[in-house]
Structures are given as structure tokens and as C-alpha cells.
Structure 1
Amino acid sequence: MNMTFRWYGRGNDTVQLDQVKQIPGVKGIVWALHHKPVGEAWGKNEIKSEVDYIKSFGFHAEVVESVNVHEAIKLGNQDRESYIENYKQTIRNLGEFGVKVICYNFMPIFDWTRSDLFRELPDGSTALFYEKEIVENRDPKELIQTFSSYSDMTLPGWEPEKIGRIKELFDAYKDMTEEDLWENLRYFLEEILPVAEEAGIKMAIHPDDPPWSIFGLPRIMTGRESLNKLLSISNSPSNGITFCTGSLGSSRSNDMVALSAEFAHKSPFAHIRNVKIFDNGDFIETSHLTSDGSIDIKGVVKELSAINYDGYVRPDHGRHIWGEKCRPGYGLYDRALGIMHLLGLWDAFQTMKKENH
């Protein structure tokens, strides 16, 4: 298990790398050029600057999250070719600086979706919350305004420039089916996977969050069937999954222990976090502790230990605790606690394996 920590960059994060350095067991920083407009190629000089800075703290910079996919590619329209070429060049440039995994997603218009960024939990901490009725009955423009204006820091997937284009984007997707979106994903992968192989990079698609349709938009990365369908598009070693327990696990139909046993070997990158699902379909993010949520985090780590998983892992969204003022879901304290819990489980299962042999 190669433990990492997601960081949003200099001047764009409340967390500093000298703080992350004090968390035992963290080997690498998961990063991106968050200031770059979606669809624009990442230049070598700006990549080198970020990688050198990360390495100066003793971390590797082998995982990028995310190189976002332009809407033209998802829509499959006439503009997609130029954006695919930019994506290919970004892959080549990242490969030159030692990047091994690129996380991406194929969610139309919106990235992860919540109704409340700071819902209070019984212990007084706050966390990201999804209230089904609000999302199903809320104007998406209102939601994106809420997300994009919460602070001066970027919130990937909820860029302010989308506000003015929201009607245009919805109109573009109004007749798109899930099969149409699958076809556009297939086209994209067939174009970029050979380039990724040459660059020594694994592409790891992130599941939809939550894993069901919102605002009438198609969503296709939702569970076991879709993960298998993704892998059937290409047997390229660069075609992989970002195994996110919180995204897939927010649907009760997804057994995360069973899915980890089935798909861990095709997941070069894993996000491990917990959510508590309520009877009406609402869910809230919790600590990483199994007993605090609805996902068997202990069972997931046990499955990873069973195959001596050597991919990259990071704690995913954390609560906001001890009065920390931070990017929603991405503070320092609770993610540090999550790392120690995950590494503790890993150490325990690895030790048990050795003793049993």
C-alpha cells in the first residue's frame, strides 16, 4: 500500500506540505494543475515546477488527480478532436516527469454532488451531506452557485465559469442516453490508451459520485456491471479504475468488500472513506472507522492486504474537526486520522498473514 495525500497546490489549499510530512506513512502527494482551464494541455515547465516542489518535501508526485475531461469529449461533438489531442500531450508531458497514474472521471457537467458542505454530526464535527429530496428538486444553477462561491479556492468539478453556460450544457445533453455516453467514453479511451501505455501511465476512471443519475443527466460508472463494461472496452494495462469506496458505497446495492476483492487488481489507485446511508437514501460522510458508517472499511482493507495491494491509496473526504477552517472535505486533521486508521488496519492484517504462515 502506497499511502498518499491529496493536495490542491500552493496558494490554493489550507494544508501545507510541511504539515503533511508529519503524518507517518505518507509517501506521495496526489496533485494537479488546478489553475489550468479544462481541455488545455499542461506544459512541461509548469509540471516540472509542481513536481520539484512536491519532491522537495521528500514525497513522490506519481499520482495526478485529476486531468479533467472536456465536455466536448463527453458529448462527442465536432470539437472533441482538438481536446483529445491536448489530453494526449498532457499524458506525454506528465509521463516525462514520473507520473504513473492519472485519475479522471466521465460525469456530465457536474463532478461530485452534495446538498450541504458542512452538515453537523452528533459529535459536533461537520461533513459533506447528500439530501436526496433537495438534489432532486433543486435548480442545478443554484447548486453550482453555492459550491463555486464558498471561498476563493477552486472546487474542482464546480468551476464558476460553468454558471453562465449551465442552460447551454443541459441543452447539449438533453437527448443523450447512457449508451451514447458509453460510446463517447469508448472513443476517448481508444484514442488515449496507446499514448498512456507509451508514457508508462495508468488511466484510472473515478466512479460517479453519487452513483446514479442526477438532474436527468446520464451517469454510467455506478457499480459492478459498469466497472466490468469499462474494463471490456480495452485490455490495455493502462485501462484501470480509481476504486472509491465512498462514491460506489453510497449506493446500498454496491457491496464494497466484494467489489474490492473483484476489482482491486485493476485499480492502481484507491480512495478509502466511509459514509452513513439513511433509510430515505440520504447519506453523510463520516470518519473512516467502520462502525461510524455503512461501509465495511475493515473488510475492504483486509481484501487489499490479501493480495498485497501495492497501488496508491489515499484517505478520501474527511470531516471538519477541531474548528479547522478548510476546503470542504479536505482538511488536514481528519484525513490524518484516516491515514493512521487505514495503516493500522493494513499493519494488523499483514502481521496476521505472516503469523499464519
Structure 2
Amino acid sequence: MEYTWRWFGPDDPVTLGEIRQAGATGIVTALHEIPNGQVWPVEAIAERKRLIEAAGLTWSVVESVPVHEAIKQGLPEAGGYIDNYRRTLANLGECGIDVVCYNFMPVLDWTRTDLAWPLPGGGTALRFDQTAFAVFDLHLLERDGAQADYSEAEREAARRHFEALDDAARTSLIDTIIAGLPGTEEHYTLERFREALDAYRGIDADTLRRHLRQFLAAIVPAAEAAGIRLAIHPDDPPRELLGLPRVVSTAEDAQYVLDSAPSPANGLTFCTGSYGVREDNDLVVMAERFAPHVHFVHLRATRREPNPASFHEAGHLDGDVDMVGVISALVREQRRRRREVGQRLPMRPDHGHQLLDDLTRESRPGYPLIGRLKGLAELRGVELAVERLLPAV
């Protein structure tokens, strides 16, 4: 596979030089400074590409071109934002960039409740704790209807947890959930967040799914014309949150995306960490089933906790993901592509523990240098072993 690395632009504490030393050859990035819904100009794309290439790397994947909330909500102004999306794809294609990752999660992008959960051996991990999230929903956000989404035991656990938090801890929890994690393009105050949730009243999963289908019908032809492969990222976590529907969480959801606009340009980001949170998602079976439609791969492992709604980021070869089985399926797909279409399969080590020097240097939550370097080295080792052990073709 092609080894890539997520980089958040010139302000990222991890430099392009360090990324190259880590063993990656491709960069996964976006023009985060451009507001959602606006066109990415050719000049800005070309300048970022020149910066990356000057460091001896290539701009492999865009992650992400965000989908405006008006599109997800099916508002009258959605047409203008779709036109802008098409123009951005055309401009990226003109600059030779051919894979675009995106997601269709309403309001929130990926969500965690703890950005530095202590690990037994030292270091820290990202974590989603269901009780802490219920505290936010029930006692800090005070969302209408939230009580019905939790069992009596969950509500009682949340009450006790809330009462044990001081003001600083409560503020930290709010900021962690709504202030925006790396790659998130929208940043909210608590009041603005309530307004964003209110905008989805009356939009259920079927409605959101219909809006996704309409988006794909409009965007996929533009991607085809631009020579771009679209790769939708699954929901993270892969289930409804805060009363918001989520429609890219299971194998059935992934199949719906592919069936909605059949085209080589319409494909998937196979994120083992996101899909792996659900016990009913068999990652190896999914990798084998969807391999021809996978345009981008995020390899990480999550581990479900005794409360199965809670999970944390495990080591890349630990957790609930059969990483050897997944990589075996992807290696077979990469071999097929080499024989038949000559198409690359970009992979990046997603997230990572904060380890060693990561604990004292500045880094973005989930995206430290050493933790991801360790993950990339482990994943490359698995891939090499699989390549050697699979029969030659």
C-alpha cells in the first residue's frame, strides 16, 4: 500500500520533514483555512501541493472537503453549496489530486470525551466514555428529549459523575465534545451547538439517507469528470448521538452508498477504528466484500469496554480489530490493482497513543508523532509478512 500521513498544514506541530523520517511518502491534508462551502481556488491548492513536494512528499489524499450542513439538511440553498463542491473537485483534479475523503455526519465530526486517557504502561489515548457523554447530554447541554435516550441506570451513573465534576472538569468536557477535534471544520459555543441540533428536528435516518443519495447523484459525475475517487468516511462513533441520525455505520450503510451512485468514482474510506467500534461489524468480511470500492484506508484499532458503548483507542495491533486479517484482504486487493488497473491504495496509520516525547511536545489530539510512527512501523511489518506468506501470483 501507499504509506500516507495526516498533516494539518503549515501550523501542524509535526513537520513535513519529520513525516518523511517516519517512513511515509504521501500526505493527507486539506485547506482547513477555507470556510465550509466555499470553493477551493486552484492557486491555493497548487501552493499547498508545491509546499508538500518541496519536502520530497506527495499530496496523496484530500481529507476532507467538508459537506455543508445545508446539504445534509436538504435546505433550498444546498444547490449553491453543491455547485461549489463540484468546482472544488474540478480544481483538485486540475492540480492532479485524485482521492477525496469526506463524511456525512450531522453537526459533529468524530467525537471523544477524553483526549489524554492514561494507559497502564504510560502514555495516553483518546477515549469515548458513555457515562461522560451522558453527563454532557443530560446535565450540561440539557437537550430536550435526552432522558429517553438513556436507561435508568445510565441516567443515575451520569448524575453521580456530574456531581463529582468541578467547574473546570465540566468546562473541559464541553470543550472536548463541541469545540472541535483535529480535522473538524465547525467549532461551537454551547448555545450555537443547541441551535445546530435544533436544525435537525424532523430529520430522521431515512431523510438524511435520502439527502446523501441526492448529494451523490450530483457530485459523482463531477468527480468522474475530474478524475477523482470519492471515499466516504464512516461515522465515529458509528451510531446515533444526541438525537442525530448517522447513516454510514454498518456494512449495509456502506452498500447503500455504493448502490446510490454506482461508479468507480464513488467509494469508501475503510476506517477500521470507526467500523470496529460496533461488534456487529465483521471487519475482515467487510474488507473482503468492499475491497474493490475502497479508495482510502485508515488503520487503527479500538477496544470496546465493559460498557460496550464506551471504547478507547488501542494500539494499532491490539483492540477488537483483526488487523492481520484486514491487511491480508487489502494486500490481495492491492495485488489485483497492480495486475488490472495500476491503481494505488493509500493507507495511513490513524490516530495514535501519545508516547515518550509526545507527552511533552505540542501535538494535536490523536495525531502525535511517535505514537503514529510506532503504528506505521507495526502496520508496515504486518503488510510485509502478509506479502511474503501469501502465495505468489
Question: TM > 0.5 between the two?
Answer: yes
Q: Deviations over 1:160-202 (max 9, x none)?
A: 2565522222111011111100110111111111110010001
2:320 aligned residue: 294
2:374, 2:10 → 1: CA distance?
23
Question: Any gaps of 5 or more consecutive residues in structure 1?
Answer: none
Q: Deviations over 1:254-288 (max 9, x none)?
A: 11111111112101100000111112121110211
1:314 aligned to which of 325, 344, 348: 348
Alignment of 1:1-357 (within 5 A): 1-11=1-11, 13-24=12-23, 26-139=24-137, 145-147=175-177, 155-157=182-184, 159-161=186-188, 163-281=190-308, 282-289=310-317, 292-308=318-334, 310-324=344-358, 325-354=362-391
TM-score (norm 2): 0.85
One-letter amino acid matched to 1:21: R
Whichever residue aligns with residue 313 of structure 2, its letter is: E
In 2, the alpha carbon distance for the partners of 1:203 and 1:144 equals 33
Q: 1:163 to 1:68 in 2, by over 3 A?
A: farther
Match of 2:163 in 1: none
Which digits, 9 at most, give the CA deviation of each residue in 1:35-61, with x for residues without a partner? 111111111111111000001112111
Q: 1:301-340 deviations in whole A, cap 9, x for unaligned?
A: 1111122364110000101111413100001111111111
SS of alignment partner, residue 169 of structure 1: helix
Displacement of 1:126 after TM fit? 0.5
Q: Quote how far apart the aligned CAs of 1:148 are.
A: 6.0
After TM superposition, where is structure 1 displaced by more than 2 Å over at least 4 residues in a row?
A: 139-150, 154-165, 306-310
User: Alpha carbons of 1:250 and 1:68: their partners in 2 closer, same or farther (altered >3 Å)?
Assistant: same
Task: Report how far residue 147 of structure 1 moved.
Answer: 4.8
Distance 2:279 2:200 in 1: 28
Q: CA RMSD in A?
A: 1.7
Q: How many residues align?
A: 349
- Quote the Cα distance in structure 1 between the aligned partners of 2:213 and 2:285: 26
The answer to whether the 8 Å contact 1:305/1:346 transfers is yes
Amino acid aligned to 1:288: H
Q: Is the CA contact 1:62–1:98 (under 8 Å) kept in the aligned structure 2? A: no
TM-score, scaled to structure 1: 0.93
| Separation (CA, whole Å) in 1 of partners of 2:225 and 2:115 | 40
User: Which deviates further from its counterpart, 162-171 or 317-326?
Assistant: 162-171
Aligned-partner SS, 1:165:
helix
- In the alignment, what sits opposite 2:144? none
| Identity percentage of aligned residues | 41
Greater Cα shift, 95-104 or 304-313: 304-313
Amino acid at match of 1:346: E
Higher-Rg member (1/2): 2
Say if 2:109 and 2:184, in contact at 8 Å, map to a contact too: yes
Query: Equivalent residue of 1:21, what SS?
Result: helix
Q: Distance in 2 between matches of 1:22 and 1:217?
A: 41
